[in-house]
Structure 1
Amino acid sequence: MAEATRSRLALDWREGFFKELHARSQQGLPPEDIDITHRKTLLGVLGWDIYKEDRRHFVGLDNDGGELLGVYKPAPEAYEKALGLAKVRPDEAVMVAAHAYDLRAAKALGTNTAYVYRWTDDRSEDMNVVRRENNVFLGESESENGMEGLYSAIEALN
């Protein structure tokens, strides 16, 4: 991603974050968890609100997901609870992660999976195996589009 694009993304995200804080204040709503506000505004900047159509949803379960669900990934219950909250079947969902063990657990439940390669993670994994295990593999080389290719890769699953 070009530096100018990254800068624009960061500025749009920051502006959206403060707009969201102001809007909540104007509506008399209590403050929400800052991570939720950051996630929500980033998804808005990236255009992820389109997933409200076609029964596709984005549910962000990162490090705080275990607290919310009462169980941590890769326990099957974590995925089952997340799917239940989103009101989707496993075959209607896509788990996006940078850890093969998280994706294996989701795949076992029938969820589509998208692996995001990060050179800092899964160093002991055979990436050829990881490629075969997942519906989508993003990011080890420029030809694999990295995160920029996520939307089109998910679209291709339908």
Structure 2
Amino acid sequence: MPLKAVFLDFMGTCLDWHSSVVRALPASLSPEERSALALEWRQAFFDDIKSRPPGEAPEDIDVVHERILRQLLRKPEKADIAKAFSSTNSTHDLSATVINAAVQAWHQMDAWPDVHVGLQRVRDTLGCEVFVLANGTTRLQLDLVRSSGLSPVIDMLFSSQLLGVAKPTPEIYRKALDLVGIGREVPKEAVMVAAHAYDLRAAKAVGLQTVYIRRWTDDLDEKDGDKLLRENDGHMLDSFDGLASVLQKMQADQK
């Protein structure tokens, strides 16, 4: 059975969100403070996703990012950090301009160095179509695919806004299968590639094959590497360099 579609998560998996966000945080903070805040902000975003009822309509990701950042900065232990976001050096007077600059950083990212070449190899060796399937708005995905330079190796962008449902709700994966012409009866003709275990668990439950990409910026709460390896049938990589080979093996195993 040939693989026909490769679905990609975007931020973290393909894109170095951390560098972009760290650059946009107030320069008065130390590099260590900016990095720690960026990582905590990202993890809080995923905690928010996981806390939502299945099937809930997706919220504008800019609104989510702003809400979560403000929640973090209201924590008592973040008082000194919050002052850097204030025009009056007060923790109660956060600057909308500074907050907005941080939120907009999620729209401009570089790709991880291994991604473009890895995806081109997938297209050349397997002839698969490549799609982004990620939470967020279509505007966000358009900004990211352009700023990252990945447009030439991606066929289509599927956002949770466009599909009307967010990951990890099963329906988003089924809708994506329908839209690319695979259908729900043969989900193993598609593979989900992500740096997020919750995403891959949901995709696999629908029947897609999965590949886990380890990124130091993501899944900070996933400590059991052996479990991740088992859940993804041994398909775990540290970069996109070996993705084409893994997909070729998947395809051969299904013949």
Q: TM-score, normalised by structure 1?
A: 0.62
- Mapped to 2, the partners of 1:51 and 1:91 lie a distance apart of 18
Identity %: 45
Residue matched to 2:248 = 155
Moved over 2 A (4+): 47-53
Residue of 94, 111, 126 corresponding to 2:208: 111
Secondary structure at the aligned position of 2:240 is classed as helix
Aligned AA (2:249): A
Aligned AA (1:134): N
Are the structure 2 counterparts of residues 104 and 94 from structure 1 closer, same or farther at C-alpha, using a change threshold of 3 Å? Answer: same
Task: Kindly indicate whether the alpha-carbon contact (under 8 Å) linking 1:66 and 1:78 is maintained by their aligned counterparts in 2.
Answer: yes
Are the structure 2 counterparts of residues 93 and 48 from structure 1 closer, same or farther at C-alpha, using a change threshold of 3 Å? Answer: same
- Mapped to 2, the partners of 1:78 and 1:112 lie a distance apart of 15
Task: Kindly indicate whether the alpha-carbon contact (under 8 Å) linking 1:51 and 1:57 is maintained by their aligned counterparts in 2.
Answer: no
| Higher RCO structure, 1 or 2 (CA under 8 Å, sep 6+) | 2
Secondary structure at the aligned position of 2:199 is classed as helix
Task: Kindly indicate whether the alpha-carbon contact (under 8 Å) linking 2:191 and 2:211 is maintained by their aligned counterparts in 1.
Answer: yes
Residue matched to 2:217 = 120
Unaligned runs of 5+ in 2: 1-107, 137-158
Task: Kindly indicate whether the alpha-carbon contact (under 8 Å) linking 1:59 and 1:86 is maintained by their aligned counterparts in 2.
Answer: no
- Mapped to 2, the partners of 1:57 and 1:46 lie a distance apart of 11
- Mapped to 1, the partners of 2:180 and 2:131 lie a distance apart of 7
Unaligned runs of 5+ in 1: 1-34, 140-145
Are the structure 2 counterparts of residues 52 and 149 from structure 1 closer, same or farther at C-alpha, using a change threshold of 3 Å? Answer: closer
Task: Kindly indicate whether the alpha-carbon contact (under 8 Å) linking 2:135 and 2:167 is maintained by their aligned counterparts in 1.
Answer: no
Note if 1:59 corresponds to 2:121: no
- Bigger Cα Rg: 2
Whose helix proportion is higher, 1 or 2? Answer: 1
Aligned AA (2:120): L
Instruction: For residues 95-139 of structure 1, give each alpha carbon's deviation from its aligned partner in whole angstroms, at most 9, with x where no partner exists.
Output: 000100000000001110000001111122112101110031011
Whose strand proportion is higher, 1 or 2? Answer: 2
Secondary structure at the aligned position of 2:212 is classed as strand
Residue of 134, 138, 153 corresponding to 2:237: 138
Instruction: For residues 64-99 of structure 1, give each alpha carbon's deviation from its aligned partner in whole angstroms, at most 9, with x where no partner exists.
Output: 410111111111011000011111231100000010
Secondary structure at the aligned position of 2:226 is classed as helix
